[in-house]
A = this chain, B = another copy of it.
Amino acid sequence: MNLILLRPEEIRDQEASFNDHRAEHLRAVLKSRPGDTIRVGIINGLIGAALILQLDQTGARLRLASCRTAPPPPTAVDLILALPRPLILKRVLAQAAALGVKRIMLINANRVEKSFFRSSQLGPEQIETHLRQGLEQAVDTRLPQVSIHPRFRPFVEDELPRLLPDYQGGLVAHPEAPQTIGEINPAPGRRLLAVGPEGGWVDFEIERFQTQGFIPFSLGPRILRVDTAVPVLLAQLELLAGLTPPSG
């Protein structure tokens, strides 16, 4: 945890009190004491410093000193993710948040196990916990939006067309695609990236994405688990966006 995240409603008269994992982190990991200054961020707001007024077994009380630093810019990629199994979902949400993704759509697919949609990890509080973990690691404050879409076809055929005008187009990971992302070398711009379930998308799903203008690409000869594939792909798109001169 590289910053303590505060909700705006926790702050009153420039002070905030809490007694949860954040207080525990201050006590046990940072071994902070009253009088120390620590880095704090306000959810969806600015980053700055706070003075520890009190820190003991009853919790922590901070006084905000100055919060004037903007969070780092978001990545230009939003994620469509076939819902992974709960343990992997936790990791991917934290990683995506750490890497600056600001919108994550969890969707159904033929090879997603139906039981995954009943996981307790999909509760709004659980999702926020994993996202905050990523933000606290990466020193960011902007909480990604996560939405859940339990039916593939209505998502791709009805919802996706309404989203697409916000993007320079989409990319869909597919082991059988002829080109890698480096070979496609997409022009910079805001992108949607669709990553499939273990075992991949079925042909019908790839066709639906292609109908919406998504370009299939391969990750190369290696089969990566989604919690490795997501950071790999976000990193490569981020790098390409910085390397390629803007087109048009």
Contacts and interface: CB of A to CB of B under 8 A. Distances in A.
A218 interface: no
Number of copies: 2
Secondary structure at the A interface, as helix, strand, loop or mixed, is: helix
Contact of A223 (B73, B137, B180, B222): B137
Interface of A: 2, 72-73, 95, 98-100, 137-140, 180-183, 185, 220-225, 228, 231-236, 239-240, 242-243
A225 B98 CA distance: 9
Contacts of A139: 221-223
5 contacts: A95-B228, A137-B224, A183-B242, A235-B235, A239-B239
A242 B72 contact: no
B221 A72 contact: yes
B242 A243 contact: no
Contacts of A228: 95, 98-99, 231
A140 B239 contact: no
Most B Cβ at <10 Å: residue of A2, A98, A232, A240? A232
